[in-house]
Amino acid sequence: MSGLKLIDILDCPTLDLTKNQRGILDVLSRNQNVRRIDVAETLGFSPQTMMRAINPLVDLGIINEVEELSGGRGKPPRLMSVRSGALLTLGITVAEGCSIVDLTDFSGRRIARNSITKPYPNAQEQLDGVRHAIADLIKNNPPAGRIVAAAVLVQGYFLEPGKRIVGRSDPLGWSRINLHGELSEFIGLPVSLVNDGRAFAASLIGSPFNRNFIGLLLGSGIGGGIICDGRILGGATGNAGELGKFFEDGPFRPTETALLAALDLPDWSLWQGVDALTNAKHQNLNEWMTQASSAISRALELCIAVVDFDTVYIGSCMPEDLLEMLADKVEVKKLGIASKDAHFEIALPSPEIVAKPIASMSLLAGRIAMKSFLEPEQFVSKTQEIPAPINAETRKEGL
């Protein structure tokens, strides 16, 4: 695929919007079916500015406007919404032994998916596989709307924030690849490269209303993000929250891969629930849960005094019953001081441990891609700050 750009096989021109038009779409990402006058007041636009921005979006088929049936006198106000399927994004996950591409619309609805699971021999072959997965997805599912941006969720840490990573599967190979540059050139559209653990944590900002928490992501590896006073911590190199470094390798490392191995399952499609397990597999599960939850507890106890969080969200694509079982076993000791005679202890409340099932990381990537299209200025900083979810429904549901 050398020299080919995805934009070359798309039957539509790129979309070049003004800042005012992006602002309007950003408002509509949080509130659909909104009166034109309310959007103008929110953004501080005059009627003339609003008209100049809206009319081209209507002509392009991006925005629908219908008259509100108010029953009052005079000309009824117009309600605006984004046309379903008009604006699309590519959400891409690059994990150890797995590459997934989702084509999603403005609301976060999946249009199509291409998933490849195989043991890649090196980083370059996985990158080539990602390119093929993207191209095949578009060829087999010609988009009716415009693809406007892409986001890639990656495992590992950044050597250059938003550009180069060190992945678990082939650390040296990935370190030599400018992943952001390679995919930006191939896709021919704005691409955001973000750490999967930090993306998971950032997606939970504002839902619920706590402002200091840790998001611990358990996939084929372990990732995380730290939210302090409502903002995600980036750090000097954008790698704050690399919680996987607290865990040793081995059969009880709290990852989906290790749990599948303990249950002797190739993937979760064959999972039938705890009650369907044989006695031997039930014992394996209990031992794994005990060891893995203990490892998580120890890691969080190392973090709590430094970060001072009140909640831990444990996210994973493992079955919800297993994730809740694991979360229930995690215990983080209170931060406090006991008296010398041990008659009393002054301690802070223990953090709440919350299981957060994840339907799809690539869908989350699609939401980040749409947010990067609407607010590109948030994605040009050194630490590649990740915004909160793009709409109220997403914020309510987390993932």
pLDDT digits (tens, 9 = 90+) for 7-41: 677 766 678 899 999 999 999 988 878 998 899 99
Residue 6, phi then psi, degrees to nearest 5? -60, -35
Q: Whole-angstrom Cα distance, residue 393 to residue 397?
A: 6
Q: Using the 8-state DSSP alphabet, how is residue 7 labeled?
A: G
Q: What is the mean pLDDT of residues 52-70?
A: 87
pLDDT of residue 52: 94
pLDDT of residue 74: 61
pLDDT of residue 387: 47
Helix, strand or coil for residue 304? helix
Is 6 in contact with 88 (CB distance < 8 Å)? no
- pLDDT higher at 71 or 222: 222
pLDDT of residue 320: 96
Q: Which helix (H) or strand (E) holds 336?
A: strand 336-338
* Average pLDDT in the chain: 86
Give this prediction's pTM.
Answer: 0.81
Is 141 in contact with 111 (CB distance < 8 Å)? yes
| pLDDT band at residue 342 under the 50/70/90 scheme | low
